[in-house]
A and B are shown apart, each in its own frame.
Chain A
């Protein structure tokens, strides 16, 4: 169903991309250029984007990751490995 795919696409967007898309949609509906049927669709999409943005803003990571010079680690490591691999200590800042 198109709905689920659209939801997945939205959740992949970065905050910046989501806000940009949202601004575009609001602009479109305000202009009044689109048909009623499309307005409803865009409205749904816009609401989905707002929800996604709000979810991102909800995050509040307390810890600070420490990163320092990699000596011999190869560059194609994933970020997860980088976090754990080197001298990654989490500093207990609150």
Chain B
């Protein structure tokens, strides 16, 4: 007869499986697999599966564990998940409860770094065109680093040794740990805001070497953005030569170590001094050359023929004068000869006319005319005289006063001066003047008219 088989409840089975798993499996283990069905629930918890060629293992990661990881898990990613196996009785499955997740192959931080680089590069934060040129002769330099770290000394020593004339300003910040990135970012923004007063020419953000975890602050997005936004040029001087952080990629210039910051940030004062000396020498030489040149020009002029023998000019002129004078004399001689010739020609022509003979002729004619004129005139005069005498006689005859000779007289009214022609011209009592032939006058008074 068969023994009666035990009948289990679901709960019992699940319990047994749970105990069996606890016994058989280590309390904590690490599983390698590929993520699939990744779900990041709104609750913050993550549900996914790890798979390999043969099968899958369901996984859960609580939000509290998930927020610690720096990279972004996704389907297809090969990971190492650490946690413990337990039975989810409600769902009837066993799960890996993951408290730590790392990318397989490379570290979580490394992956996070690569992901952040990709993201920010995509936004153009690393582009050359956004990088500001460094001032060639910075006189006021701001340093953001830990007050107690070695980096500060490295930076200041290297700057001092090369360019001691710069003034240095320290803005102390934490350079690792929680919240450091935020503090450095806010320090950068603060300095930018106050730069009208601070007048800083360049900023150096630095820290000494360390692990990827130690340097993680300088890979954080908030710091990268603050560096990008800084109007003051930023030099990153982080870690050792081999380390490259995101801050290095965003900064306007990168120094591979804090000591290198001195080389990157400032020039060598001795070189600059030499440059000044060279320019001073150039100025002197150039000016000296110019003066020499000018002096040479003067010498050449002085050496010229005119200055050597100034009389030569005068002598040339004298010669010219002599030549011109000779010409002038010649011309005058010619003119005079011509003139003489003209005169003698004229003389001959005149002589040909026989003027003396003509003159004799004309004299005779003249005399002739003269006598004729004389007698003519005489005749005329005589005639005229006779006419005149006749007229004079006639005139004399008409002279009213000649009438007086015959015994007549002229009587005028003394008062009015009018002639007394009739008795009406006078009244008794009037005085009268009578003119007689010998021009004597008789005054009388009218007694009766």
Q: A36-B291, A70-B194, A82-B194 are in contact. Are A50 and B168 (CB under 8 A)?
A: no
Residues of A within 8 A of B191 (CB): 67
Residues of B within 8 A of A16 (CB): 135-137
Q: Is B187 an interface residue (CB 8 A)?
A: yes
Contact with A along B250-280 (1 / 0, CB 8 A): 0000000000000000000100110010011
Q: Is A68 an interface residue (CB 8 A)?
A: yes
Q: Is there an interface contact between B167 and A66, defined as CB atoms closer than 8 Å?
A: no
Q: Is there an interface contact between A47 and B283, defined as CB atoms closer than 8 Å?
A: yes
Size of chain B's interface in residues, with CB distance under 8 A? 41
Q: Is there an interface contact between B279 and A46, defined as CB atoms closer than 8 Å?
A: yes
Q: Is there an interface contact between B190 and A66, defined as CB atoms closer than 8 Å?
A: no
Residues of B within 8 A of A70 (CB): 190, 194
Complex partner residue of A36 from B170, B276, B283, B290, CB under 8 angstroms = B290
| A-B CB contacts (within 8 Å), total count | 105
State the CA gap A68–B174 with chains docked (Å): 13
Residues of B within 8 A of A64 (CB): 143, 156, 168-170
Q: With both chains docked as a complex, state the minimum distance between the C-beta of A87 and any C-beta of chain B, in angstroms.
A: 9
Q: Is there an interface contact between A29 and B171, defined as CB atoms closer than 8 Å?
A: no
Interface extent on A, as a size class? 35 or more
Q: Which of A15, A23, A70 has the largest number of chain B CB atoms within 10 A?
A: A15
Q: Which of A25, A58, A59, A67 has the largest number of chain B CB atoms within 10 A?
A: A67
Q: With both chains docked as a complex, state the minimum distance between the C-beta of B97 and any C-beta of chain A, in angstroms.
A: 44
Q: Is there an interface contact between B165 and A66, defined as CB atoms closer than 8 Å?
A: no
Residues of B within 8 A of A66 (CB): 169-172
Q: Is A6 an interface residue (CB 8 A)?
A: no
Q: A16-B137, A67-B171, A67-B198 are in contact. Are A59 and B164 (CB under 8 A)?
A: yes
Closest to B186 in A: A69
Q: Is A60 an interface residue (CB 8 A)?
A: yes
Q: Is A14 an interface residue (CB 8 A)?
A: yes
Residues of A within 8 A of B282 (CB): 26, 29-30
List 20 A-B pairs, Cβ < 8 Å.
A14-B137, A16-B136, A22-B276, A26-B279, A26-B286, A29-B286, A29-B287, A30-B282, A30-B286, A46-B279, A47-B280, A50-B276, A54-B276, A58-B165, A65-B170, A67-B169, A69-B190, A75-B196, A79-B197, A79-B199
- Rank and list the top 3 A-B pairs by shortest CB-CB distance, nearest first: A60-B164, A59-B165, A15-B137
A14-B137, A56-B165 given; 13 more Cβ-contact pairs under 8 Å:
A15-B137, A29-B282, A29-B290, A46-B283, A50-B280, A50-B283, A54-B276, A57-B165, A57-B273, A61-B165, A64-B168, A68-B171, A82-B198
